[in-house]
Structure 1
C-alpha cells in the first residue's frame, strides 16, 4: 500500500522530528541569509551601527510581532494556517534578496523574512509543546532545535560554497536558497495533512496540578522569568555585528564568515541537546549558564585573533541554542495550555525588544570602543545572574514542582 501522510501512525516523537525537518529546511534558507547579512549590507555602504539597527530591528520584528500572533493562536486555534503563512513569507523573502540593488530594499526583505517567523512562531511552539509533553519537554524542544540547527549549519555552508564559486557574488548565493525553500513548503503541507490537530498528543492535567490563574491571567512566575530573559538578552550581540567585525577587520576572509556561522549553529544544536537533557533532570538551574556565556562573548569575539574571535562566536551559538530550546521549554512548564500561545508571544516580544536594544547598544558602542562593549555587557550579565539566582530560579522551580 502506498504510504501517505494520512496512513502513517503519527506518534509524538514522529511529529517532533518531522517538524524539526521542516525547521531544518527553513533554517537552510534564512540562516544561510543571516550568516552574510552583515557583510552584504556593508556592500551597500552600511555602517556597524546601521547593521546593528537592521539586524536588531529584524529580530525585534520576528519576536515582538508575536504579541499579536500568540493571542490569535489561542483565540482561534488556527495553528496550521499561521504556520503555513509564516513559512511562505520567509521562503519568498530570502531568495528575493538576490534580486535587490538598494540598501533600503535589502533591509526591508531581511525584516520581512523575520516577520514570517513572527507569524508562525507561537503556533509552532504550541504544537510542539503538546507533542513534547508526552516525551519530555526539555528533550522534545531540544531535538527540534537540534534538527533546526542542522539546517543552520547547512545553509551557511551552501552560501559559502556559492560565494567561493562566484568570487564573492552574493546574488547567486541568495537565489540558490530557493531550492530548500520549495522543499520546506512541500514538507510542511505534508505534515499538516498527517496531523491536523496536535493537541491530541498532550495528556490531561495530573491530579493535584496547579490550576490556571483566575480570569485567564498568566502566572506571576512567568513575568519574573520574562524579566530575567529581557535583561540578559539586552547584552547579547546580533550576529550581524559579529560578522561585520570579522569581515571589516579582516579577522577571517569574507567567504569564511558563513563557515564560522555554520560552526556556531553546530554548537547551537549541541547546546540545545545538552541543556534540554539537563533541564528534564535538574530544572531551570541550567539556565544560569546563559548570563555567564553571554558575558564572555564580546571579550573573545571582538578580538582580531582568528581563533579567539571564532571561539567568541561559538559561545554566541551556544547561548542561542539554549534560548531557542530550553528557555522555550520552561514556558510550557509554567503556563497553562490554554494561555500558552499568548505566553510564547509575550516571551518572544520581550526577547525581540531586548534584541533590538542589544543590537543598537552593541553596534553603537562598537563604533565607539570595543572596551566599552566588554564592560557594558559584563555589567548587564552580572545583574542578570544575580536576579536569576535570587528570584527566578526559586520562583520557577516552585511552579514546576506544583504541576
Structure 2
C-alpha cells in the first residue's frame, strides 16, 4: 500500500488546519458523550439490572451506531452532503447524553444510550471521508491520529469532570446535566468548521494513493480481508460498560470515571504514536497494536484494583487504535468518491461483530469470568494472521 507524501506549503497548512479544527470539534463532543459513557455501567446498576443486560444494552448501542453508518456512508457518497449528515449526527449524539439526566428507569436510560450511539454512527462516515481528503496531503495515519488525540483529550476531561461531580456528592443525574455545556460548545465549533471549509474534497491530492488503482464498482479483496480481521477484534473487545459494571463491585464509584479518563488519555497517546508510525511501517504497526491490547481482559476482570487499572490502560490502547488508526488503511484502499460508502460498509459489519461480542461477553460474565477472559483474548489474537493476509492482498 502506498502512502501519501507529507504535503508542504499552503496545501499542507490548510489540510492540517482542517484536521485540527475537526479535532477540536471532537474534543468537546467527547467531553460530552465519553463523560457519560464512563458511568453508563454503574448508572444502569442503580436500577438493579444484570451484567447480561448491561452487555446487551452496550452491544445494542454499538450495533445501532455502527449499523446506521451503512446508510450514512451510502447517502454521503450518493448525495455529497457530507456536512449535512455530519451535522445531524452530531446533534443527535450530543443531545442524548445530557438527556440522561431525565432518565428515571433503565428503559429510558437504555434508549438514550442507544440513541447517543446512533448519532455518532450517522456522523462518522462523512466526517472520516472528509478527513481522508486532508490525509492525502499530510498522511492518512497522521490525519486520523491527530484528530483522535484531540478527541481523546476531551475523553479525558469529560470523565474527570464527572468524577469530580460524583466525588463532591453529586448524583449521576447532575453529572449528565453538566454535559450539556461541552455539547453546546461542540455544536458551535461544528458551525465554524462548516463555514471555513465548505468543500473539504478540494484538498484531495489525486494520483498518489493506492486507491486510485481501484476505481471499479466493487470494493477490493484487501478491504474485505481487513474487515474480517477487525471484526474478530470487535468480537472479543468488551465495552467499558461491562468493565465498569464489574468494577462497581470492586472499587468506589468515583474511581471508575477516573479509570475511564486514564483509558482515554492512553487512547489519545497511542493514536498519535501508532498513527505516525503507521505512515512509515504500514499494516505490521496495526498488527502490533492489536497484539498489545488483546490482553486487557485478564487484568481488568481477574485482578484487583491495581491489575484492573493496568487492564484499562491496555483497553485504552486498543480503543485508540480502533477509533483512529482502524480507518487509515481503508482510505488507502478506496477511491475518494466511494470512501464514505466504504466506511459505512466497514462500520456496519464491525458493529454487528461488536454487538454479538458484547452480548456474549455479558452472558459469559454472568456464568464464568474466566470464560469471558479466554474468549476475549483468543478471538482477538485470531485477527493477527488475517491482518497479515490483508497486507499481502494490498500488495504492501
| TM-score of the superposed pair, with normalisation by structure 2 | 0.94
Match of 1:190 in 2: 192
Secondary structure of the structure 1 residue equivalent to 2:246: helix
Question: Do the aligned partners of 1:10 and 1:195 also contact (CA within 8 Å) in 2?
Answer: no
Q: Secondary structure at the match of 2:115?
A: helix
Q: Supply the distance in 1 between the matched residues of 2:132 and 2:268 (Cα, whole angstroms).
A: 19
- Tell me the residue number matched to 1:175: 177
- How is 1:6-17 mapped onto 2 (pairs within 5 angstroms)? 11-17=14-20
Map 1:312-331; keep pairs closer than 5 Å.
Answer: 312-331=311-330
Sort the Cα spacing of 1:185 and 1:24 in 2 relative to 1 into closer, same or farther, 3 A.
Answer: same
Measure the CA separation in 1 of the matches of 2:316 and 2:210.
39
Task: Indicate whether 1:74 and 2:77 are aligned.
Answer: yes
Residue 355 (structure 2) aligns with? 356
Structure 1: which 5+ runs fail to align? 1-8
Inter-CA distance 291–141: structure 2 relative to 1 (3 Å threshold)? closer
Does residue 284 (structure 1) correspond to residue 283 (structure 2)? The answer is yes
Q: Does 1:50 align with 2:53?
A: yes
Aligned partner of 1:395 in structure 2 is 393
Cα deviation, residue 17, structure 1: 0.2
| Structure 1 outlier segments of 4+, above 6 Å | none
Matched-pair contact (CA < 8 Å) for 1:238–1:358: no
**Residue deviations 1:343-391, cap 9 Å, x none?**
10011112211111111111111111111112222321332223223x1
Secondary structure in 2 aligned to 1:11? helix
> How many aligned positions are there?
385
Q: Which residue of 1 aligns with 2:377?
A: 378
CA drift at 1:289: 2.4
Post-superposition CA distance 1:301-320 (Å, at most 9, x none)? 00241111111111111001
What is the SS of the residue equivalent to 2:294? helix
Tell whether the 8 Å contact from 1:149 to 1:265 is kept in structure 2 after alignment.
Answer: yes
Alpha carbons of structure 1 residues 305 and 208: separation in structure 2 relative to 1, 3 Å:
closer
CA distance in 1, matches of 2:209, 2:316: 39
Distance in 1, matches of 2:157 and 2:379, equals: 33
Q: Distance in 2 between matches of 1:365 and 1:227?
A: 23
Unaligned runs of 5+ in 2: 1-11
Within a 5 Å distance, the mapping from 1:4-403 to structure 2 comes to 11-167=14-170, 169-206=171-208, 210-214=212-216, 216-248=217-249, 250=250, 252-389=251-388, 391-396=389-394, 398=395
SS of alignment partner, residue 134 of structure 1: helix
Is the 8 Å Cα contact of residues 214 and 333 (structure 2) preserved in structure 1? no
* Rounded Cα–Cα distance in structure 2 between residues aligned with 1:258 and 1:82: 31
Post-superposition Cα deviations, 1:225-283, rounded to whole Å, max 9, x if no partner, equal: 101111121011110110011112x2x21011000000000000011011101101001
SS in 2 for 1:19: helix
Separation (CA, whole Å) in 2 of partners of 1:206 and 1:20: 25
| TM-aligned CA deviation for residue 100 of structure 1 | 1.2
Deviation of the 1:90 alpha carbon:
1.5
Q: Deviations over 1:86-109 (max 9, x none)?
A: 111112111110011011000000
1 CA distance for matches of 2:60 and 2:210?
A: 43
Report Cα offsets for 1:179-224 as digits up to 9, x if no partner: 011111111101101110001111122499753343x211111011
> How many angstroms does 1:293 deviate by?
3.0
Determine the C-alpha separation between the residues in 2 that align with 1:383 and 1:187: 41
Contact preservation (8 Å) 1:213, 1:219: no
Query: SS of 1:334's equivalent?
Result: coil
Who is 1:5 aligned against?
none
- Do the aligned partners of 2:228 and 2:386 also contact (CA within 8 Å) in 1? no
CA contact (8 A) 2:211 2:333 kept: no
Between the aligned partners of 2:212 and 2:94, the Cα distance in structure 1 is 41
Structure 1 pair 294/185, CA: closer, same or farther in 2 (3 Å)? same
